[in-house]
Chains A and B, each alone.
Chain A
Amino acid sequence: MAEQTQIVIRWWHFALIGVMILMFVMFAAGLGRDTRFIPSPLIGKPAYDFKLKQLRADKEISLSDFKGTAVVLNFWASWCVACRDEHHVLLESAKKYTGKPVQFLGVNSKDTKKAAIGFMEQRGFFPYPSVVDGQGRLGLEYGVYGMPETFFINEKGIIVAKHIGALTPEIVEKNIGLTGALEQRAVSISDDASSKKEVRQ
């Protein structure tokens, strides 16, 4: 009788040790993860189409204006510190991909026109348009946590990648690669180039 009790107690000991190991593994896995990279449920889904006013022109822009071209959609604001860090990366990348089927598009979110223009005057104007998302409503549609955040949309309008935080040239290159835009035939380039010109006017 006494032996049986002994065996049962040992079994519970093993169960408790097992549970403690499981807890340790779960904590280690959870704490080791980079909290900035919360997987977006929007990856692989069609990008939300919008029609918003440009920051430096009265003309409105829709995302669908760029169908057939990969789009790098960058949410930024003048008050955002990390946006200052990635500013030169965006300027250089936009220049690098000129003439290629990649359209850069800014979304100036929760900002004022004056502050946004002042920001660009100080650091250089983006060679591509930015739309105004005054209250951050477009940010909600894209599940934006904070700024900057950048979405990489392929030529079919599907979000293939999202980057939270300041961009680096490597991140831009890698994610533009994911859109498959550079593997496209030269045929679409001429069309895209003409549509780009229209937008910039």
Chain B
Amino acid sequence: MRVSIKIIIAALFVMSAPIAGQAQDANPAKAETAAPKVQVESRLERQVRNIASLLRCPVCQGESVYDSHADVAVEMKTLIAEKITAGETTEQILTYFKDRYGNYILMEPPAEGLHWVIWIFPGFMALLGAMFLVQHLRSSAKAEQQRFEEQAKSKEAPGEIEELSL
């Protein structure tokens, strides 16, 4: 019974595929004319999104320029688009904003100077925690083994020892 239901579902999927394909190709002429324009726009938009996501909206709380709809963020996105069109690289555009707003404008602080602390700190803490954990487990395992050995050596009944080892 289960198998037959699976077969029916699979068959439905297979049958629906050509229908979906037909629906997409319903108006091929329109799709062809619209396609190039959409492609050009989306490429620029993608580039703007990539850069705007790296920048912090100056008037928002922890929001990127891309996510923000504030006036200043909208103007920044327009400027980014203009700069991309003018052939500027991502690095050049980020430097432009960094030179005017400082490192604060970057969503991720650069790994330089005192900022290294921020970058190293989580890794350092994880390492410290791992070392502490290993140390703790080792010592507790050792203590457990010692206790077990002591118990084994004691004059207790063999049945009890078997129980412990289980």
Contacts and interface: CB of A to CB of B under 8 A. Distances in A.
B104 interface: yes
A5 B139 contact: yes
B46 interface: no
B99 interface: yes
Contacts of A42: 99-100
B interface, size bucket: 20 to 34
Nearest to A143: B100
B54 interface: no
B25 interface: no
A171 interface: no
Interface string A127-145: 0000000011101111111
Given A136-B75, A140-B100, A16 B128 contact: yes
Contacts of A146: 58-59, 72
A95 B125 CA distance: 58
Given A145-B59, A146-B58, A146-B59, A12 B100 contact: no
B31 interface: no
Nearest to A5: B139
15 contacts: A5-B142, A12-B135, A39-B102, A41-B100, A41-B101, A42-B99, A110-B71, A136-B71, A136-B75, A137-B75, A140-B75, A143-B105, A144-B72, A145-B58, A145-B59
Interface of B: 58-59, 71-72, 75-76, 78-79, 98-102, 104-105, 117, 124-125, 128, 131-132, 135-136, 138-139, 142
Interface of A: 5, 8-9, 12, 15-16, 19, 26, 38-42, 110, 135-137, 139-146
